[in-house]
Amino acid sequence: MKKLVLLATLFCAFAYQKTTAAGIDTLKKNGYTLIVSGNDDKFDPALKQKLITTFFEVYPKLAKAYNPKTDKQVVFFIDTAYHGVAATGDGKVVFSAEYMTKHPGDIDVVTHEVMHIVQGYGEATGPWWVTEGIADYARYKFGVDNAGAHWSLPEFKSTQNYDNSYRVTARFFEWIEKKVKAGTVKKFDGMMRDHTFNDNTWKEVTGKTVDELWKAYAANPAI
């Protein structure tokens, strides 16, 4: 029985078309294509596979939830010269080989970064902290192993502010979704993509200004 379960698991993990040429893997599944390459000959193949598996698990879900018109082809590049965590632009995610090797459990870096592709805001007119807050909110909702990376939304502190971005803003969004108006994040995401997000958006969508929302959140931040 264990052998059958293992074979089924392997089949599910590799149920996509794969072609390899000159160190470049091209993988296709359910209408999406992922092209993976890099310049680290020592990068762990098992970790590379986790990046691939996570992409095919989360990207279609993010596309369905936020932007069905998102790119159907995505590029991953594992880079020894990049010393941040990861960066995304024009349908391409650059992963720091050094960071991912040191933090192999932080697989939902993939989830955050490919959400940026789904966002597709272009020359966005909205605040950058909304962009990053939404990406971390998506990681919180769709991440495959946040616990394994010891990643979670932070507890509220009086020193925080809504524009701190990333997890702080993501937690604020989760509070709004639960306590004020469900669907706010999806609405904000669409407005950011349409370039209609402005200072009045908060009140238009939730009935309160961002400062009024934050004041209420600070008074009772439980989620």
Express each pLDDT in 195-206 by its tens digit: 999 999 999 999
CA count, 13 A, side-chain hemisphere, 185: 28
Please tell me whether residues 173 and 193 are part of one structural domain. Answer: yes
In the chain, % of residues over pLDDT 90? 87
- At CA 152, angle to CA 146 and CA 217, rounded to 5? 145
Domain final position from 74, 91, 120: 120
Same structural domain for residues 175 and 91? Answer: no
Residue 70's SS3 state is: coil
More confident site: 7 or 40: 40
For residue 12, the model assigns a pLDDT of: 43
On whether both 203 and 100 belong to a single domain, the answer is no
**Cα–Cα distances in Å, from 115 out to 132, 142, 147, 198?**
10, 10, 19, 21
Are residue 65 and residue 163 in the same domain, yes or no? no
pLDDT over 70 at 5, yes or no: no
Residue 13's CATH number: 3.30.2010.30
Give me the mean pLDDT over the 100-128 stretch.
95
Confidence at 13, pLDDT banded by 50, 70, 90 = very low
pTM over 0.85? The answer is: yes
For residue 6, pLDDT over 90 is answered with no
| Structure-token pair, residue 133 | 């807050």
Per the structure, the count of domains in the chain is 2
204 shares a domain with 113: no
Q: Please give the residue range of the domain that contains residue 139.
A: 128-223
Average pLDDT over residues 180-199: 97
Q: How far apart are CA 214 and CA 191, in angstroms?
A: 20
Q: 3-class SS at 166?
A: helix
Over 90: is that where the pLDDT of 16 sits?
A: no
Asked whether residue 8 falls in the same domain as residue 116, the answer is yes
Could you tell me if 187 and 91 lie in one domain?
A: no
Tokens describing residue 187: 């609405």
- The overall average pLDDT reported for the chain is 92
Comparing CA positions, the residue from 98, 88, 75 lying closest to residue 119 is 88
40 and 115 both lie in a single domain: yes
Cβ(54)–Cβ(108) below 8 Å: yes
Q: Are residues 10 and 115 in the same domain?
A: yes
Query: Which of 89, 120, 151 is where one domain is finished?
Result: 120
Domain boundary residue among 120, 151, 171?
120
Residues 185, 162 within the same domain:
yes
* pLDDT classification of 15: cutoffs 50, 70, 90: low
User: Do residue 110 and residue 183 come from a single domain?
Assistant: no
> On the CB side of 34, how many CA atoms lie within 13 Å of its CA?
25
- Per-residue pLDDT band for 21 (boundaries 50, 70, 90) equals low
- Residue 203's pLDDT is what? 98
* Residues facing 87 on adjacent strands: 94
14 and 113 both lie in a single domain: yes
